[in-house]
Amino acid sequence: MIKVKNLQFKYQGSNKYALNNINVELPRGKYIAILGHNGSGKSTFSKLISGLYKPTKGEIYIDDIMIKKSSLREIRNKIGIIFQNPDNQFIGSTVEDDLAFGLENANIPQHEMKKIIKDLLKMVGMEKFIDREPNTLSGGQKQRVAIASVLALNPEIIIFDEVTSMLDPKGKEDVLQIIKNIQQTREKTLISITHDMDEAIMADYCLIFSHGKVIAYGNPKELLNNKKILEESKIDSPFIYKISSRLKNIEPTYDINELLEKIWK
Ligand SMILES: Nc1ncnc2c1ncn2[C@@H]1O[C@H](COP(=O)(O)OP(=O)(O)O)[C@@H](O)[C@H]1O
Ligand SMILES: [Mg+2]
């Protein structure tokens, strides 16, 4: 579980808080979508809970361990993060090296590595690219390798910070499918920062930021159906919901199949 208490954060040299008085508890093993306008504090929040930034004030606990200098190593083992920009996420000169680097750090014996790397690359559909240099891959392929590299470390919590936003539609679809697979097959806490309402609606919980504050937290279907919250956070309601709410004699729904059933009745 992630527990955040009275968290405040100010960037050096800035005179305003990027995050102001955040109090939230995110349960273990769930899929949590983080939404909010640009500059609302989503990335700053994700870097704080992964221990990349130090709180200006307040406390963050991961599984009851407070993030501080002496616990950083332990915390960093518990959380993996994948960033928006597919570049600059690689350490190795080939895809295989990149994954091996993480496994070496985790003290996995050499003779087990080959199979683990193969399995991980298979999982993200990149097994054919094992010998490629990361910088020769497409954006979507890079993100898939970045996900495999994070999975190699087997963290309890994985944060996806707008990982599809710089990808073309095909790359986006491939990466989203992998996130869905991880969600279904692994007992991990997944935190996905997204602008995609159709993705947010699939989450167990939704956390909404606006101007450095959490303005709502709860069931995505309830929150994304709340006009006041949508207006305050300047986010959009999901596409299927928008269509269905405009159709006569049809109850609004977020579910494409439900909508089709109602239309074809
Ligand atoms: N490196 C930085 N230095 C100074 N201010 C920053 C930096 N990164 C982000 N900010 C500011 O912090 C606020 C929150 O930004 P960010 O967490 O990146 O928002 P989001 O991810 O929701 O778009 C914004 O006002 C942004 O301008
Ligand atoms: Mg961001």
Domain boundaries, the chain: 27-51+76-226, 235-265
pLDDT at 105: 82
pLDDT tens over the chain, length 265 residues: 999 999 999 999 999 999 999 999 999 999 999 999 999 999 999 999 999 999 999 999 999 999 999 999 999 999 999 999 988 888 889 999 999 988 988 888 988 999 999 999 999 999 999 999 999 999 999 999 999 999 988 899 999 999 998 889 899 889 988 988 888 876 799 999 998 887 888 899 999 999 999 999 999 988 988 888 888 888 877 777 888 888 888 888 777 788 888 888 7
CA separation for the pair 181, 89 (Å, rounded): 22
CA of 252 to the centre of ligand 1 (A): 35
Q: In what order do the strands lie in the sheet with 157-161?
A: 79-82, 157-161, 189-193, 31-36, 205-210, 213-218
3-state secondary structure labels for all residues of 52-94: CCCCCEEEEEECCEECCHHHHHHHHHHEEEECCCCCCCCCCCC
Does residue 52's CB lie within 6 angstroms of at least one atom of ligand 1? no
Ligand nearest to the CA of 22: 1
Which pLDDT score is estimated for 186? 62
Residue 120 confidence (pLDDT): 93
206 and 33 in contact (C-beta within 8 Å)?
yes
- Both tokens of residue 200? 């947010």
Q: Can you give the pLDDT at residue 255?
A: 74
Instruction: Give CA–CA dist 124/148, Å, rounded.
Output: 7
Handedness of CA 242, 246, 252, 253 (dihedral sign): negative
pLDDT at residue number 209: 97
Q: Is there an atom of ligand 1 within 6 Å of 12 CB?
A: no
Work out the number of other CB atoms within 10 angstroms of the CB of residue 114. 12
CB neighbour list of residue 57: distance below 8 Å, 6 or more residues apart: 6, 7, 8
Residue that has been written with the tokens 């986006």 in this structure: 172
Cα(174) to centroid of ligand 1, in Å? Answer: 28
- How far, in whole angstroms, is CA 208 from its chain's centroid? 14
DSSP for 145-160 reads HHHHHHHHT--SEEEE
Q: If you classify domain 27-51+76-226 with CATH, what class do you get? A: alpha beta
